[in-house]
Structure 1
Amino acid sequence: MNLLIEGIENKVVFETELTKQLSVDNHSEIYPVYKIKLDQLYFNDQNDRIATWISQYKSETKIEKIDTDKKTDYNNIIHKFITDSNPKALEATQKNISIIGQEQPGVVLADGRIVDGNRRFTCLRNIQQESGETQYMNAVILDRDITGNAKEIKMLELYLQHGIDKPVDYNPIDRLVGIYNDIVDKELLSVSEYAKSVNLPDKEIQREVEKAKLMVEYLEFIDAPRQFHLARKMNINDPLKELNTILKQCKDDDKREDLKNVVFANFVMQPYGDMTRYIRKIKKVASNAKFLDDYLEEQLELTEKVCDLIEECPEVNEEVINQKIRVQEELQNAFEHSTDKWETKSNSVASKLLPAQLIEKAYDQIDNIDTNIFKKLSDEEKETVRNKLDLLQEMIDNIRGELDV
């Protein structure tokens, strides 16, 4: 059913006096807002907020796709995902809607698929069930379908959820899954198109793409391909960031591959509570060419044992990881002892490496500058930046001069 035709004719969709301005496919336009009966709408299963929850459901039920034809059952499944993904945010939104009504209209397609407003829809469904009173959702209705307009609809969804100075309020692993699906797997958007949609620099999205690829490689390493919920439950977003930095600093392809597998093995064994801090220990060792070979040789022996454990498991899931792999305390301790030992040796020569480390830190800070902001600076502000760059260049020239002495 087309909400703009049959929906209005059947009196389940009503015009309002509200409007909302949207930019769809690079064309900005003011759209009318409609009041839509809830049973005419259905959740967007391609919403990044629930990407890992979808993967978990598919893994547990052994299905390829959730059937959208049975809307009530389908909506009940996704409803739970939206609730579980961020219950506190949902509670706050529902309380606000209960008191003052729905302030921000959503955006839906003509067949009822929700592009923007899945959380508001969830809240309205809760209110309807609790009060027994029929609820309606205010939304713009786009006369499009997901099949023929997937790219422009995805860019609109990203813009509405991220691109208007809104904080990302869901798990970063879910975001990585969305980035992987849209840019790498489906090739629906380029890095530049995605960055434009979420109002971020291209290089920041490129770094997220690199992390997303590592996440996928890790899941393949533990023989759990595309079980993205495992990455969320292991909380590996920040450790992936550290690993990406380690791999960029390593120029030897063979060592880079060995380092990656070693870190993956440490991910699954979790020998240390704070894995981000633990991977930083590995980062120290990896930056010291004097000790890296010996460290890798020692760690690769342990990594092989982890691979053997994984091969022995007919299926890898959260229960297997926690009850069959991470219970190998002797192996966990061996990983930690090895890393601590080589980190201590690396620290013993840290004073000699300090200048290089400070320069690396300065490089990272400069690399994080969003050059797009220069367009917004006044001439006076630009001149201040140029003066600082001149001072920086002078310091660099002085350091190079001392190196040549």
Structure 2
Amino acid sequence: MNLLKDGIDNNVVVSCDSDKKLVIDNITRTYPIYKIRLDQLYYNDQNDRIATWIAQYKTENNVSRLDLENRVDYNDLIHNFITDSNRDAIRKTQNNIALVGQQECGVVLSDGRIIDGNRRYTCLRNIERDTGKTQYFDAVILDHSIENNAKQIKMLELMLQHGVDEKVGYNPIERLVGVYTDIIDRGLLTVREYADSVNQSESDIQLEVEKAKLMVEFLEFINAPKQFHLARHFNLVDPMKELYTMLKKIRDEDKKEDLKLAVFSQFLMQPFGDTTRHARKIKKIASNNKFFDEFLDEQMPFVEKVCDELQKFPKVSNKEINMIRSNENLKKNFLHSTDKFVNKVDGDTTRNQPIKQAEKAFDSLDLIDSNILSKLSHDQKEELLEKLNSIVKAVDLLRSTLNDE
């Protein structure tokens, strides 16, 4: 059914006598808003916000795509994904709509696919079920198809996702999956186009791209390619940012690869509490040239054991991950090794602190321009001499302590 033709003729679509401005292909136009009966609409399975939930469903049910033939079952399935992704946001939005009605209109395609407003649509479905009263979704209807206008629709969707109730509780992992899918996997958008659509800098989106690549590499490492729900389970956004920062500072490609494998292995085994905090410990070691190579050498046998465990499972899910993590001895080895080298780095930092402070003191004195001394007032010269004498006394005391050692 075409909502703009058949929908209006069948009285399931009604004009609201109001409109909304949209920017499509850099052209701003005003579009009329309609009230659309809920049973004429269906969720967008290409919505980035539920990408990990759809990936999980496909993996667990061994399917490559969702079945759109039965719209009722299809909508019920995605309804649950959206609800489970953020129950608190659904509750708040639903209470608001029940109290004052739908305040922000959505955007749908003429075949009923929802491009913007999935959460609002979910809340209206709940209200209709609870009250038994027919509900209508307020939305602009675009005479576009997802097949022929994919790029324009995606850019519009990204722009509109910064709406009032849609940006609440946005899971950053879903964002990374969207970046990977739209920019890297499908090549639908360039970094610049994506950045323009979400009103961010290209450098910010490029960082998202690099984190997304690492996320995908990690999933491939653990034999779970594109099982993005596992990335959500591991909560990898901030840890991947820490890893990217480490790798960016390492020039040697072999060391870079070894570090990546060591970090991936520890993320999988999870011998720690907070993953981000643990990644920062490893970053501290990686930034210390004195101990970094030794750390990698000690980590590699543990990494090999992880790889041996992974070879037992050509395809990994949560069940296999729990089995691999049951190796408590290997987890202890990773944790002990990392903590040991953190202590070494901290001790080295403490021992080098006097040298660094002396260097800072010398640099500060070296910055004094001797040509300006003659221009100081008598009082200023006296004050400076007093400070210099204090410095000399402090230096003599340190020198005496060193000679006594």
Q: Shorter-chain TM-score category?
A: 0.7 to 0.9
Q: Is 1:38 matched up with 2:38?
A: yes
CA–CA separation in structure 2 for the residues paired with 1:202 and 1:193: 9
Q: Which runs of 5+ in 2 are unaligned?
A: 368-405
Secondary structure (helix, strand or coil) at the match of 2:20 reads strand
CA–CA separation in structure 2 for the residues paired with 1:26 and 1:57: 36
CA–CA separation in structure 2 for the residues paired with 1:81 and 1:55: 11
Offset from partner CA, 1:244-270 (integer Å, 9 cap, x none): 100001111110011001000000000
Q: Contact between 1:163 and 1:197, CA under 8 Å: does it hold in 2? A: no
Q: Contact between 1:18 and 1:32, CA under 8 Å: does it hold in 2? A: yes
CA apart distance, 1:354? 7.4
Q: Is 1:339 matched up with 2:338?
A: yes
**Map 1:213-252 → 2, pairs under 5 A:** 213-252=213-252
Distance 1:165 1:104, change over 3 A: closer
Offset from partner CA, 1:7-56 (integer Å, 9 cap, x none): 11111111111211111111111111001011110001111110100000
**Map 1:4-403 → 2, pairs under 5 A:** 4-162=4-162, 167=167, 169-322=169-322, 324-351=323-350
Percent same amino acid among aligned pairs? 57
CA apart distance, 1:314? 4.6
CA apart distance, 1:311? 1.1
CA–CA separation in structure 1 for the residues paired with 2:331 and 2:320: 16
Q: Contact between 2:223 and 2:313, CA under 8 Å: does it hold in 1? A: no
Q: Contact between 2:117 and 2:166, CA under 8 Å: does it hold in 1? A: no
Secondary structure (helix, strand or coil) at the match of 1:19 reads strand
CA apart distance, 1:350? 1.8
Q: Contact between 2:89 and 2:168, CA under 8 Å: does it hold in 1? A: no
Runs of 4+ in 1 over 2 A off after TM superposition: 162-169, 351-355
Q: Which runs of 5+ in 1 are unaligned?
A: 358-394
- TM-score for the superposition, normalised by structure 2: 0.86
Q: Contact between 2:32 and 2:140, CA under 8 Å: does it hold in 1? A: yes
Tell me how many residue pairs correspond in the alignment: 360
CA–CA separation in structure 2 for the residues paired with 1:179 and 1:106: 23
CA apart distance, 1:315? 3.1
- TM-score for the superposition, normalised by structure 1: 0.86
Aligned partner letter, 1:297: D
Aligned partner letter, 2:288: N
In structure 2, the residue matched to 1:364 is none
Aligned partner letter, 2:199: N
CA–CA separation in structure 2 for the residues paired with 1:70 and 1:24: 31
Aligned partner letter, 2:213: K
CA–CA separation in structure 1 for the residues paired with 2:121 and 2:350: 57
Q: Contact between 2:146 and 2:153, CA under 8 Å: does it hold in 1? A: yes
Distance 1:289 1:163, change over 3 A: farther
CA apart distance, 1:321? 1.0
Q: Is 1:3 matched up with 2:3?
A: yes
Q: Contact between 2:119 and 2:166, CA under 8 Å: does it hold in 1? A: no
CA apart distance, 1:306? 0.6
CA apart distance, 1:310? 1.2
